[in-house]
Amino acid sequence: MIYPIVKYGNPVLEKPAAPVTEFDDELKKLVADMFESMYEAKGVGLAAPQIGISKRLAVIDVSFKENPREKLVLANPEIIDTEGKQTQSEGCLSIPDFRENVTRANKVTIRAQDVNGKWYEKTGEELLARAFLHETDHLNGRLYISHLSALKRDLIKRKIRKLVKAGEWK
């Protein structure tokens, strides 16, 4: 099932999500649906709050279907180590058509549970490091625009308010 992506302005995006506790068939179905919804939206990462489900669950595939081994399920992820810096253009499926440069760590190690509840650690660099941070932020109710200067963030918010008024932000 393909879920519509929740957009900025919906409170579910700005509240901390609840831990995943059941690693059952329902969760497996949700994870499969999240991958499907992410690919449909042309994204490389998707967090459950972005489909209106306030759970600490995200999926990532920085290869975008090229390499099945790069499909990652992050349940209850924690950032356990960061190193270095990178500045790259970043966007979010919940804030479509906007992109801004965001400085983040260049190398990030996470600890998370897979779809079966098994804990694992993984280190990612560059885009994967960015995805780990971006998606974990989502689970804490934080969006990438919170990493921008107040000036840039307010400009984006103002543009979005205009789109909302015009009925072009649903």
Binding-residue total with Ni ion (CB under 5 A): 1
DSSP type of residue 45: E
Q: In angstroms, how far is the first alpha carbon of the chain from the final one?
A: 20
Amino acid at 44: V
Catalytic residue among 36, 121, 125, 135: 135
Instruction: Report in angstroms how near the CB of residue 49 gets to Ni ion at its nearest.
Output: 9
* Rounded Cα gap, residues 10 and 23, in angstroms: 27
Q: How far is the CB of 26 from Ni ion (least distance, A)?
A: 24
Stretch that binds Ni ion, among 14-22, 29-37, 89-97, 122-130 (CB under 5 A): 89-97
Which residue's CB comes closest to Ni ion? 92
Could you tell me the smallest distance in angstroms from the CB atom of residue 78 to Ni ion? 18
Q: What CA–CA distance (Å, rounded) separates 126 from 33?
A: 26
Give the amino acid at 132.
Answer: F
- For the CB of residue 90, give the shortest distance to Ni ion in the complex, in Å: 9
Q: From 22-30, 54-62, 92-100, 153-161, give the range in contact with Ni ion by CB under 5 A.
A: 92-100
Q: Which is nearer to Ni ion, 31 or 51 (CB)?
A: 51
Give catalytic status of residue 135 as yes or no: yes
Nearest 5°: phi and psi at 86? Answer: -145, 145
What distance in Å separates the CA atoms of residue 37 and residue 5, rounded to the nearest whole number?
8
Tokens 């190398």, residue located: 107
Q: Does the footprint of Ni ion cover residue 92 (CB under 5 A)?
A: yes
* Cβ-contact 3, 57 below 8 angstroms: no
* Interface region with Ni ion, contact rule CB under 5 A, candidates 4-12, 33-41, 90-98, 106-114: 90-98
The residue ranges that bind Ni ion (CB under 5 A) are 92
User: Which residues are the active-site residues?
Assistant: 135
